[in-house]
Structure 1
Amino acid sequence: MAGFKWIKPEVYPLFAAVGTVVGICAMQLVRNICTNPEVRVNKQNRIAGVLENHAEGEAYAEHRVRKFLRNKPPQVMPSVNKFFSEPNLKE
């Protein structure tokens, strides 16, 4: 590691955070190019024009992550929020 003297250990979490964000962006770009019904990469699909395929659009919009999170509480850590927000009634 003699060539990396300019990288300080304090910067590693920043590299990890930026790397995670770049990975999420790349995943979303690939998802849009490969599965979005409105994106057509090859010429044969572009010739078809605008399709009224609502079922395909619904399948794209209602992906697995959205279905998983649909009935979950809209909080990051509900148990911690509940602990600090509700009064202690055992007094």
Structure 2
Amino acid sequence: MSGVAAKTWREIWIRPEVYPIVAAIGGAVSLCTFFCARQISSSPGFRVWKDGRAHEGIPEEKFRVKEGVNWREHFVRRAMRDTKPAIFPGLNDAMTSPK
């Protein structure tokens, strides 16, 4: 038991083989936090105050429609619109092009 007491907390718990797990969990928590914050702060379907919920249903006002379009057409969607949906487009082109 004396060998365990001689080790510090860092020697026991901070190991290089744990870094990928910490990175994966940290990334997942970050994405979840971003998604939840985005939903709560700027989603057109989420209203905190009662006056915002009073006229919910089918959005007939033009500003509600514009709000929904702005929500859907965010920066990432606009940036990726002209990109081919492929993980390795160069490899796909090389494998499918006629020789």
- Does 1:28 pair with 2:35? yes
- CA-atom RMSD, angstroms? 2.3
TM-score, normalisation: structure 2: 0.73
Q: 1:55 aligns with which of 37, 41, 66?
A: 66
TM-score, normalisation: structure 1: 0.78
Equivalences for residues 1-40 of structure 1 within 5 A: 2-4=8-10, 5-40=12-47
Matched letter for residue 27 of structure 2: T
Aligned length: 87
- Higher percent of residues as helix: 2
Aligned-pair CA distance for 1:18? 1.3
Residues in 1 aligned to 2:16 and 2:24: alpha-carbon distance in whole angstroms: 14
The structure with the larger Rg is 2
Aligned-pair CA distance for 1:81? 3.2
Percent identity among equivalent residues? 34
